[in-house]
Amino acid sequence: MTAIETETFLEYILVEHRWIIVMVALLPVSLIWKIWSTFRNYVVFKLNSAPKMHIKKVKEVQSQVKAWLAGDRSTRLCTARPGWQAMSFRQGIYKKTFTNIKVNLVDVLEVDMENMTVRCEPLVTMGQLSRTLEPLGLALAVVPELDQLTVGGLVMGTGVESSSHIYGLFQHFCLQYELVLADGSVVTCSKDENPDLFYAVPWSYGTLGFLTSAVIKVVPAKKYIRLEYRPYNKLSELAHHFVEESLKDKPHQFIEALLYTKNSGVLMTGNMVDKIGDDGKFNPIGKWYAEWFFKQVERHLTNNSTAVEYIPLRDYYHRHTRSFFWELQDIIPFGNHPIFRYLLGWLMPPEVSLLKLTQPEAVTKLYDKAHVIQDMLVPVEHLEKAIDVFHEEIEVYPIWLCPFRVFNHPGQLKIKTNADSQMFVDIGVYGVPKAKGYETVTSTRRIEAFVSKHDGFQMLYADTYTTLDEFRAMFDHTLYDKVRDSLPYCKDAFPEIYGKVNRSVRK
Ligand X SMILES: NC(=O)C1=CN([C@@H]2O[C@H](COP(=O)(O)OP(=O)(O)OC[C@H]3O[C@@H](n4cnc5c(N)ncnc54)[C@H](OP(=O)(O)O)[C@@H]3O)[C@@H](O)[C@H]2O)C=CC1
Ligand Y SMILES: Cc1cc2nc3c(=O)[nH]c(=O)nc-3n(C[C@H](O)[C@H](O)[C@H](O)COP(=O)(O)OP(=O)(O)OC[C@H]3O[C@@H](n4cnc5c(N)ncnc54)[C@H](O)[C@@H]3O)c2cc1C
Which residues in this chain contact ligand Y in the complex, by CB under 6 A?
Answer: 38, 41-42, 44-45, 50, 107-108, 110-111, 128, 131-132, 135-136
Whether the CB-CB separation of 332 and 22 falls below 8 Å is answered with: yes
CA distances from 142 to 81, 173, 207, 217, 358 (A): 24, 8, 25, 9, 32
Q: Which one of ligand Y, ligand X, ligand LAN, none is in contact with 79 (Cβ closer than 5 to 8 A by kind)?
A: ligand X
Q: According to the binding rule CB under 6 A, does residue 144 interact with ligand X?
A: yes
3-state SS, 295-316, equals HHHHHHHHHCCCEEEEEEHHHH
CA distance 353 to 73: 31
Scanning 206-214, 223-231, 354-362, 384-392 for contacts with ligand LAN by CB under 6 A, the matching segment is 354-362
Whether the CB-CB separation of 213 and 174 falls below 8 Å is answered with: no
Binding residue for ligand LAN (CB under 6 A) from 430, 438, 494, 498? Answer: 430
Residues 84-103 that bind ligand LAN (CB under 6 A): 87-89
Residues 419-478 that bind ligand X (CB under 6 A): 459, 461
Scanning 204-212, 334-342, 433-441, 447-455 for contacts with ligand X by CB under 6 A, the matching segment is 204-212
Measured from the Cβ of residue 123, the count of other Cβ atoms closer than 10 Å reads 19
Supply the DSSP string of 64-96, one letter for each residue: HHHHHHHTT--S-EEE---GGGSSSS--BTHHH
Whether the CB-CB separation of 255 and 245 falls below 8 Å is answered with: yes
Measured from the Cβ of residue 420, the count of other Cβ atoms closer than 10 Å reads 10
Q: Is the CB of 151 or the CB of 372 nearer to ligand Y?
A: 151
Adjacency order of strands within the sheet including 281-282? 281-282, 307-312, 224-232, 264-273, 254-261, 399-407, 421-431, 372-379, 457-458
Q: According to the binding rule CB under 6 A, does residue 205 interact with ligand X?
A: yes
Residues 358-387 that bind ligand LAN (CB under 6 A): 359, 363, 373, 375
Q: According to the binding rule CB under 6 A, does residue 156 interact with ligand X?
A: yes
Angle between helices 361-370 and 9-16 (to 10 degrees): 40
Q: According to the binding rule CB under 6 A, does residue 433 interact with ligand LAN?
A: no
* Selection from 285, 284, 290, 256 nearest residue 144 by Cα: 256
CA distance 415 to 139: 28
Residues 66-105 that bind ligand X (CB under 6 A): 78-79, 81, 86-88, 92, 103
Binding residue for ligand X (CB under 6 A) from 41, 62, 117, 150? Answer: 150
Measured from the Cβ of residue 497, the count of other Cβ atoms closer than 10 Å reads 23
**Count of chain residues binding ligand LAN (CB under 6 A):** 18
Q: Which one of ligand Y, ligand X, ligand LAN, none is in contact with 108 (Cβ closer than 5 to 8 A by kind)?
A: ligand Y
DSSP H/E element including 56: helix 50-70
Q: Is the CB of 16 or the CB of 110 nearer to ligand Y?
A: 110
Q: Is the CB of 42 or the CB of 334 nearer to ligand Y?
A: 42
Q: According to the binding rule CB under 6 A, does residue 159 interact with ligand X?
A: yes
Q: Which one of ligand X, ligand Y, ligand LAN, none is in contact with 149 (Cβ closer than 5 to 8 A by kind)?
A: ligand X
Binding-site ranges for ligand LAN (CB under 6 A)? 87-89, 160, 324-325, 327, 352, 355-356, 359, 363, 373, 375, 426, 428, 430, 459
Residues contributing to the site for ligand X (CB under 6 A):
78-79, 81, 86-88, 92, 103, 122, 144-146, 149-150, 152-154, 156-161, 205-206, 210-211, 459, 461, 500
